[in-house]
């Protein structure tokens, strides 16, 4: 599992960590029940504070992606398809929002956009 | 405290070797002389000075600050130095006894009992030396104390000289033996008093 | 959150310098960077905690025990590393082990040998023949080999090259993998602290300026840059410290998000511990 954080990005590091782990879970790199590295090990490897990794894990647990067992560590929660779908929907909407924004500001019509979308979907 | 003594012994390995060399050198020198009895006194003095050297080593390494960050109390620090000094004085005295025996054997100067008495007196002087030196070292540090020691040795010598000049009689044999009998108690008292002073000084020191 | 080290209103007066009302807590399982410029009082504070210097007032607790009443018990469980090696020149590692074996109840010879091997410290050389970095690693090996729960390091990385410093930071991070252990690391090398500290306590002129989580410091503080005229528009209460340049002002502000809203259009940059400290100190002078 790779986790790459950027110190110069505006996004707080704990957010970077939690969203990357989320992606790994969604994409299947991290399977159900898989053990996550301990907060301390992650902190050491990424050269960040243990408070940061703790926060990231807390957020992941709050969002239902992982479960923390006292004394044992953190594990990927049972795949909750609902949650995952929700997340994917959200990301897709984000991207579409951007496309709409650009289209509107350059005079591209909704019809054009529709066509583009169908073409792209069929291509893949 | 055992650890502290081990530390001193390990540090003083080199010093011991040097001291033994000096002894051998002076021993040979003494053998060639008519009256080699100065060696007895020298032995005791040399060994006792070694304990002062241990303070020097500690200063150089800034050992005290570090030692007190470990489970070592200031009391243990002071007690270990007194123990070391007394042990060294005993060692020096043993050497002087051996030397005294050799003198009786080879030089036929005096009796064993006389030599033993001389060694004991020297031991007593060494202990007094320790009792005066250690509080000075704790208060003023090794370098300044060394200078003070010269003065301290000079004073009784001077007094003895003056007394002698003015015809004050030396103690009789009876008086002398009385003093010898009372001395162990006196020495113990000196050690205890000296230790209490040293500990008080050391306790109030900021490291 | 359990506190492993509690310092309450510690004070000490010297002729030319005094430590006033120093208080902070080190939560168990974390690394606290104790930072301040040379002469600010870091070493004095640590010496007071260790009862090496007689305090004037205040209270110190470690593992819930009083630092004077339960001194020996506490010192069995802490490892201390000072900035210079305190071993006599002619000692070798096995000599040191002989001494330590008889000082610490929990001294672990096998662990010490293991550290010596890991740190690549030559066993047949004396302390005198060790380089500065090696001396420091030897001190750390000694401090770690009696299974301490709390490590106190006073400027342990100063004067070492970046490679050795990094090795030492790694050693400290390894130590803290066990969450029963904690570290107080005093340093004026803020980049080291940025790498490993969870909390930062800043001392200046014998007083504690702040003691908080490093993340909060980095996320919340910012450097606002503005022109000379604009500077006058900034309310005094928002200025933590400032630096006047020839072509504008740099202002240290707290609560970056708030400031971004309040002073729209002003450039607000990310900052680091070194700058936060500089601005706190310089801001005072101005």
Q: What is the pTM of this model?
A: 0.83
Contacts of C31 in chain A (CB under 8 A): 50
Q: Distance (Å) from the C-alpha of residue C213 to the closest C-alpha of chain B?
A: 28
Q: Domains along chain C?
A: 3-213 (3.40.50.300), 221-285 (no CATH)
Other CB atoms within 10 A of residue B95 CB = 22
Residue whose C-alpha is closest to residue C182's, from C71, C77, C104? C77
Q: Do C215 and A52 touch (CB under 8 A)?
A: yes
Residue C243 has what DSSP assignment?
E
Say if domain A13-76 classifies as CATH 1.10.8.590.
Answer: no
Q: Distance (Å) from the C-alpha of residue B146 to the closest C-alpha of chain C?
A: 21
What band does B135 get if pLDDT is binned at 50, 70 and 90?
Answer: very high
Pick from A44, A51, A55: CB nearest C177: A44
Residue A37 has what DSSP assignment?
P
Position C5 scores a pLDDT of 96
Q: Do A50 and C197 touch (CB under 8 A)?
A: no
8 A C-beta contact, residue C271 and residue C222: yes
Q: Which residue of C has its CA nearest to B56?
A: C88
Q: Do B207 and C53 touch (CB under 8 A)?
A: yes
Q: Give the separation between CA C112 and CA B135, rounded to whole angstroms.
A: 37
The chains found to touch B (3+ Cβ pairs under 8 angstroms) are: C
Q: Give the separation between CA C252 and CA C270, rounded to whole angstroms.
A: 10
Which residues partner with B46 through β-bridges?
none
Whether ipTM tops 0.90, in short, is: no
Residues 22-81, chain C, touching B (beta carbon < 8 A)? 47, 50-54, 71-73, 75-76, 78, 80
Q: Which of A40-44, A87-91, B47-51 has the highest mean pLDDT?
A: A40-44
Q: Distance (Å) from the C-alpha of residue A43 to the closest C-alpha of chain C?
A: 8
Contacts of A47 in chain C (CB under 8 A): 195-196
Position A79 scores a pLDDT of 66
Q: Do C52 and B57 touch (CB under 8 A)?
A: no
In the three-class reduction of DSSP (H, G, I as helix; E, B as strand; rest coil), residue C10 is classed as strand
Residue C178: what are its φ and ψ, rounded to 5°? -80, 120
Phi-psi region of A6 (alpha: psi -120 to 50; beta: other; left: phi over 0): beta
Q: Give the separation between CA A94 and CA A85, rounded to whole angstroms.
A: 14
**Token duo for residue B9:** 């012994």
Q: Distance (Å) from the C-alpha of residue C84 to the closest C-alpha of chain B?
A: 9
Which residues partner with C204 through β-bridges?
C207
Mode of pairing for the β-strands spanning C78-81 and C150-154: parallel
Q: Which residue of A has its CA nearest to C191?
A: A47
Q: Which of B45-49, B125-129, B135-139, C3-7 has the lowest mean pLDDT?
A: B45-49
Q: Do A50 and C214 touch (CB under 8 A)?
A: no
Euclidean distance between the first and the last CA atom of chain B, given in angstroms as a whole number? 19
Q: Which residue of A has its CA nearest to C170?
A: A44
- The three state secondary structure string of chain B is CHHHHHHHHHHCHHHHHHHHHHHHHHHHHHHCCCCCCHHHHHHHHHHHHHHHHHHHHHHHHCHHHHHCCCCCCHHHHHHHHHHHHHHHHHHHHHHHHHHHHHHHHHCCCCCHHHHHHHHHHHHHHHHHHHHHHHHHHHHHCHHHHHHHHHHHHHHHHHHHHHHHHCCCCCCCHHHHHHHHHHHHHHHHHHHHHHHHHHHHHHHCCCC
Q: Do C103 and B71 touch (CB under 8 A)?
A: yes
Residue whose C-alpha is closest to residue C181's, from C160, C224, C146, C150? C150
What string of pLDDT tens digits covers the 286 residues of chain C?
Answer: 799 999 999 999 998 999 999 999 999 999 999 998 888 899 999 999 999 999 999 999 999 999 999 999 999 999 999 988 899 999 999 999 999 999 999 999 999 999 999 999 999 999 999 998 999 999 999 999 999 999 999 998 888 889 989 889 999 999 999 989 999 999 988 998 988 899 999 999 999 999 999 988 888 899 988 888 888 888 888 888 888 888 888 889 888 888 888 888 888 888 889 988 888 887 655 4
Contacts of A51 in chain C (CB under 8 A): 30, 198, 213-215
Position B5 scores a pLDDT of 92
Contacts of B3 in chain C (CB under 8 A): 99-103
Q: Is the pLDDT of residue A124 over 80?
A: no
Chain B contact present for C143, CB below 8 A: no
**Token duo for residue C94:** 């096995």
């Amino acid at each position: 599992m790779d986790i790459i954080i950027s110190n110069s990005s505006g996004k707080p590091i704990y957010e970077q960590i939690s969203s990357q782990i989320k992606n790994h879970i969604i994409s299947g790199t991290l399977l159900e029940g898989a053990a996550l590295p301990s907060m301390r090990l992650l902190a050491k490897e990424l050269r960040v504070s243990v408070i940061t990794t703790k926060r990231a894990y807390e957020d992941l647990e709050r969002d239902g992606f992982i479960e923390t067992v006292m004394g044992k560590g953190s594990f990927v929660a049972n795949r909750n398809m609902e949650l995952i779908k929700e997340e994917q929907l959200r990301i897709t909407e984000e991207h579409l929002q951007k496309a709409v924004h650009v289209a509107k500001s350059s005079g591209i019509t909704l019809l054009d956009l529709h066509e583009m979308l169908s073409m792209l979907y069929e291509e893949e | 405290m055992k650890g502290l003594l081990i530390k001193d012994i390990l540090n003083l390995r080199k010093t011991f070797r040097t001291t033994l060399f000096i002894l051998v050198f002076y021993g040979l020198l003494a053998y060639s002389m008519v009256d080699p009895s100065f060696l007895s006194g020298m032995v005791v003095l040399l060994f006792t000075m070694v304990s002062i050297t241990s303070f020097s080593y500690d200063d150089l390494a800034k050992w005290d600050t570090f030692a007190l960050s470990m489970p070592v109390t200031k009391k243990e620090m002071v007690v270990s130095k007194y123990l070391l000094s007394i042990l060294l004085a005993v060692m020096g005295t043993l050497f002087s006894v051996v030397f005294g025996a050799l003198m009786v054997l080879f030089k036929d100067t005096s009796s064993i009992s006389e030599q033993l008495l001389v060694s004991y007196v020297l031991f007593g002087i060494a202990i007094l030396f320790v009792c005066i030196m250690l509080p000075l070292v704790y208060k003023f540090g090794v370098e300044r104390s060394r200078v003070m020691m010269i003065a301290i040795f000079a004073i009784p010598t001077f007094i003895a000289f003056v007394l002698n000049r003015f015809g004050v009689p030396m103690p009789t044999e009876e008086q002398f033996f009385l003093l010898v009998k009372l001395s162990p108690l006196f020495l113990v008292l000196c050690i205890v008093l000296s230790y209490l002073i040293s500990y008080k000084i050391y306790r109030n020191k900021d490291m | 959150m359990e506190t492993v080290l509690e310092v309450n209103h510690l004070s000490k007066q010297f002729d030319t310098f005094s430590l006033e009302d120093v208080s902070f807590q080190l939560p168990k399982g974390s690394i606290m960077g104790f930072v301040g410029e040379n002469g600010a009082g870091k070493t004095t504070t640590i010496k007071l905690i260790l009862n090496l210097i007689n305090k004037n007032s205040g209270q110190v607790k470690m593992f819930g025990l009083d630092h004077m009443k339960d001194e020996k018990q506490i010192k069995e469980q802490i490892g201390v590393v000072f900035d210079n090696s305190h071993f006599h020149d002619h000692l070798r590692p096995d000599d040191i082990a002989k001494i330590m074996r008889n000082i610490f109840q929990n001294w672990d010879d096998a662990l010490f040998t293991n550290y010596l091997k890991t740190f690549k410290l030559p066993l047949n050389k004396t302390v005198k023949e060790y380089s500065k970095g090696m001396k420091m690693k030897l001190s750390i090996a000694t401090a770690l080999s009696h299974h301490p729960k709390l490590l106190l390091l006073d400027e342990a990385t100063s004067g070492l090259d970046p490679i050795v410093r990094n090795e030492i930071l790694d050693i400290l991070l390894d130590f803290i993998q066990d969450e029963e252990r904690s570290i107080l690391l005093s340093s004026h090398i803020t980049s080291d602290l940025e790498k490993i500290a969870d909390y930062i306590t800043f001392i200046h002129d014998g007083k504690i300026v702040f003691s908080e989580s490093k993340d909060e410091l980095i996320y919340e503080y910012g450097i606002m840059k503005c022109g000379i005229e604009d500077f006058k528009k900034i309310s005094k209460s928002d200025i933590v410290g400032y630096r006047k340049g020839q072509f504008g002002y740099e202002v240290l502000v707290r609560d970056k998000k708030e400031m971004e809203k309040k002073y729209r259009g002003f450039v607000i940059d990310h900052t680091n511990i070194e700058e936060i400290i500089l601005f706190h100190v310089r801001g005072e002078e101005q």
